[in-house]
């Protein structure tokens, strides 16, 4: 089966979008880890158990993990 030029272009574009999104979320998680001095695993464990509180930053961090983690 031959792939059309349009299909190849579309796949390249989708791959680039996905790659950029993964890089964005990885960077965001590294920054969150540095800011709170917690690994992502420790952050999630403490967040899910309610030990971190209700600060919007924690919810944002959890959302970033859910999107890219």
Q: Does residue 65 belong to any structural domain of this protein?
A: yes
Q: Does residue 16 belong to any structural domain of this protein?
A: no
Rounded to an integer, what distance in angstroms lies between the CA atom of residue 1 and that of residue 17?
25
Digit-coded pLDDT (tens) for 9-63:
999 999 999 999 989 988 988 888 898 898 888 988 988 898 887 888 888 877 8
Question: What is the number of other CB atoms lying within 10 angstroms of the CB of residue 32?
Answer: 19
pLDDT computed for residue 8 by the predictor? 93
Q: Does residue 6 belong to any structural domain of this protein?
A: no
Count of the separate structural domains present in the chain: 1
Contact 18, 67 (CB under 8 A): no
pLDDT computed for residue 57 by the predictor? 80
Whether the per-residue pLDDT at 69 is higher than 60: the answer is no
Q: Does residue 69 belong to any structural domain of this protein?
A: yes
Q: Does residue 46 belong to any structural domain of this protein?
A: yes
Q: Does residue 57 belong to any structural domain of this protein?
A: yes
Q: Which domain holds residue 45?
A: 24-69
Contact 25, 67 (CB under 8 A): yes
Q: Does residue 7 belong to any structural domain of this protein?
A: no
Rounded to an integer, what distance in angstroms lies between the CA atom of residue 47 and that of residue 38?
11
């Amino acid at each position: 089966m031959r792939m059309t030029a349009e299909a190849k272009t579309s796949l390249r574009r989708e791959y680039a979008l996905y790659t950029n999104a993964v890089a964005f979320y990885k960077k965001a998680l590294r920054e969150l880890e540095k800011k709170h001095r917690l690994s992502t695993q420790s952050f999630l464990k403490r967040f899910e158990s309610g030990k971190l509180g209700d600060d919007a930053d924690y919810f944002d961090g959890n959302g970033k993990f859910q999107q890219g983690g």
